[in-house]
Structure 1
Amino acid sequence: MSFFQRLKKSVSQTTESVTQKFKSGLSKTSTSLVGAMDTVFRRSKIDEDLYEELEEILIAADVGVNATMEIVERLRTEVKERKVKEPEALKPLLSEILLEILKGEEEEDIGMNTVDDDLSIILFVGVNGVGKTTTIGKLAHYYKEQGKKVVLAAGDTFRAGAIEQLEVWGDRVGVDVIRHQAGSDPAAVIFDGIQAARARGADILICDTAGRLQNKVNLMEELKKVHRVIGREVPGAPHETLLVLDATTGQNAMKQAQIFNEATRVTGIVLTKMDGTAKGGIALAIRRELGVPVKWVGLGEKMDDLQPFDSEQFIHALFVEEVEKEA
């Protein structure tokens, strides 16, 4: 059984609607990245020019220089070991390498896509404009659909309209929002959120935080303070610290990830607006550079278009034509 046949068999165990969301959401990346690769794989022979062109394509897709170098070097090794002669045969080899990078230590990265603790706390971080509040609302919807009782804490007290925006999402989803006045101490809001979540028998508390402060307080120090308050009130919490990144910003998103990861011990990445970019290779770059897994992806505007990240679905969606051709 070929790689693409095995991939299709694995993905077929997931619901058809989820598979379709990945296909649709990653269509721009697939057309750009895999479409460009097709010209490489139609070459007459495997030579240095082929590898150099492949490097250029991967870098242009925001895979990143280091990840690209690793991918191409591993591809060279596989070609030698398997004695591959035809360029077309590189496609499944490349797909396997990309999948291995995305998976990483996946068995340790499952995190909180399912929640079992008495009160699980998810802390959201990220700069303004990446879709953080919208993502919180969609995640609350996801967990509510699983039968979980969710409470939101409006810890972004500095951005104009942030509290009201979260309340709109709370009303839309049907979950409580704990808030203070604009400009209040974010840590105090989160503290009250924890008390309220406990009192209301909630399963999950999702905490919003500021992406930028309008005073001289250092943002990262403020986030560390929030982190300390959560850990003091609920030992071992936050159970998940999710960094929201806008996939359309490419390598700028990588820089944000490095800064936030140093300050808040990020446990997972949420990539929003994946449907709006042809450079979805940023998922590979983040996995390779930071060792932090992508746990959620925004694949559209609808409430249920936030999906748990699935590396096999990701590769399946990129190479969908090859998968269907071999089915």
Structure 2
Amino acid sequence: MLLNLARRRRLLFVGGKGGVGKTVVASTIALTRAEEGTQVLVVSTDPAHNLGHLWNREVGDAITPLGPAGLFGMEIDPEHTTAEHLAEVRTRLERLVPAHLHSEVAKHLRLAKNAPGAFEAAILERIAVTVTEQLDHFDLIVFDTAPSGHTTRLVHLPEAMSAWTQGMLDRHSRAQRFTDAIRSLDEEDPGYRVIAGDEGSRSARDTEIRRVLLARQERFTRLRDLLRDRERTAFIAVLLGERLPALETVELAEQLRESGLAVSALVVNRRSPADAGELLAQRRAQEAEHIGYVTDHLPDLPLVEV
């Protein structure tokens, strides 16, 4: 069932509570598809990376062969990604503001590095770039995501970031109208140059600002549309037959649904065998109760036990 799902999709997101085996499930799906002759990329967005450990090789921030033909991996480094993201923002801002404000830009970005949401915004940007740049090169991209809380924040961000960018575009348009009004003033007025600035540099800055904002909006809009496209994207929730993973799985599914997304399948990992003695039989019965809680709340989802 999971393979049929993977064969019909371009993007797979494997999520769930920390420690339930998301990396193993994501890698197993990716390996099987690669063995069928497709090009597959596994991307870890979890700060506690396990992809390299699982494949017994160095997997870093760049795309790396994992061994089998057609299978590649990448671990998104959150600190590196955040620093790179802020450095790019600083470079752009310094092109768009006067030189005497550059120190203020640097100060603001130093504070922004540790601001709430900075990590998720940087990771989201990297996911969007990866999807945009790599979807034409790979048949399937599998995202081994961070624990549930991070995942739900990430899936809410494309809509929020797109709306934020639209707000910036609207403000830019209003500022442009204000500048046009200033231009109607007497150019000999001392306040004209202070407010309107040099016409050539101002026009170039306006064009660059709008170009950057539109490109950013397009990137997040495309990612949002891909995440909501059930023909191209699927979310797989991994859990254990335990109370907390069961509760988090139901909560994750509900939060995704609120964002216009949907879990496509459930994987119960590390299921105790039925014929390996009384102790494991008792444990299996306890697991069945927690699995029953999930299936009661998510009755329409296919479930695989491993």
Q: Which structure: larger Rg?
A: 2
Task: Give the TM-score normalised by structure 2.
Answer: 0.49
Task: Give the TM-score normalised by structure 1.
Answer: 0.46
